[in-house]
């Protein structure tokens, strides 16, 4: 029933795309943030830098793309990302990590000498919106910790997250937001423990 409802929603969106007067709706991967009083994460004790996120070429589009049951991709011209998808993923993940690590993203900013610096590089292998109502995020991510010019170590992990969604596009985008939040939770928990214990592996 959900799949049928989603198919009807998708069909309606595609029909609207055929009308040049159809207004565009804009979506973001940045979830609503809690009030400052609700943020309880203590500082992780290191500096943090979020590097640019790489995404698959086929989904690097301004419009939302939905995978249909026959394996084809439908481009919803009237449903658009608020910024390039790679930037949406970068900014959403950075904000979630700032909240969980208790430190700010210092990308492009001067760093404080003598304090460890953790860099995160993220390579998204799959970013899929399925017509059955599921959002899938498959990413390989690398943590790099620097403690001076000659002290650096790396940890590479991978995560696959699938969040169920309802029949509406709003619900599908919300599912992607939850997937980004879940990925941030894994990265933050791993980073905190790995910085303290070099033998700690991926969660």
The domain 2-16+47-108+115-196 is placed in CATH, from the list 1.25.60.10, 3.40.718.10, 3.40.50.10610, 3.40.50.10860, at: 3.40.50.10610
> pLDDT band for position 72 (50/70/90)?
confident
The answer for residues whose C-beta is within 8 angstroms of residue 24's C-beta and 6 or more apart is: 77, 78, 79, 80
Residue 3 pLDDT: 41
Bridge partner residues of 154 (DSSP): 144
Residue 181 pLDDT: 96
User: How far apart are the C-alpha atoms of 181 and 89, rounded to whole Å?
Assistant: 11
More confident residue, 68 or 66: 66
**Domain boundaries, given as residue ranges, for the chain:** 2-16+47-108+115-196
Q: Which residues of 100-112 are buried (b: 16+ CB within 10 A; e: fewer)?
A: bbbbebeeeeeee
Residue 37 pLDDT exceeds 50:
no
Over residues 6-33, mean pLDDT:
65
pLDDT in tens, 169-187: 999 999 999 999 999 999 9
How high does pLDDT run on average in the chain?
Answer: 86
- Of how many residues is the chain composed? 203
The 10 Å Cβ neighbour count of residue 57 is: 7
pLDDT in tens, 95-109: 999 999 999 999 999
User: How far apart are the C-alpha atoms of 3 and 120, rounded to whole Å?
Assistant: 36
> pLDDT band for position 18 (50/70/90)?
very low
More confident residue, 37 or 132: 132
More confident residue, 183 or 152: 183
């Amino acid at each position: 029933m959900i799949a049928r409802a989603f198919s009807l929603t998708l069909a309606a969106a595609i029909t609207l795309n055929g009308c040049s007067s159809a207004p565009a709706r804009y979506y973001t991967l940045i979830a609503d943030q809690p009030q400052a009083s609700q943020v309880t994460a203590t500082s992780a004790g290191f500096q943090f830098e979020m590097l640019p996120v790489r995404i698959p070429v086929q989904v690097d589009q301004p419009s939302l793309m939905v995978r249909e049951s026959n394996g084809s991709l439908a481009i919803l011209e009237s449903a658009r990302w608020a910024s390039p998808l790679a930037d949406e993923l970068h900014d959403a993940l950075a904000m979630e990590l700032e909240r969980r690590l208790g430190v700010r993203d210092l990308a492009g900013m001067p760093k404080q000498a003598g304090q460890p610096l953790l860099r995160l590089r993220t390579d998204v292998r799959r970013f899929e919106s399925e017509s059955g109502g599921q959002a899938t995020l498959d990413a390989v991510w690398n943590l790099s910790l620097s403690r001076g010019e000659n002290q650096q170590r790396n940890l590479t992990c991978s995560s696959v997250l699938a969040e169920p969604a309802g029949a509406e596009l709003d619900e599908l985008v919300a599912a992607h937001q939850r997937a980004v939040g879940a990925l941030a939770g894994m990265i933050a928990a791993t980073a905190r423990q790995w910085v303290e214990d070099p033998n700690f592996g991926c969660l």
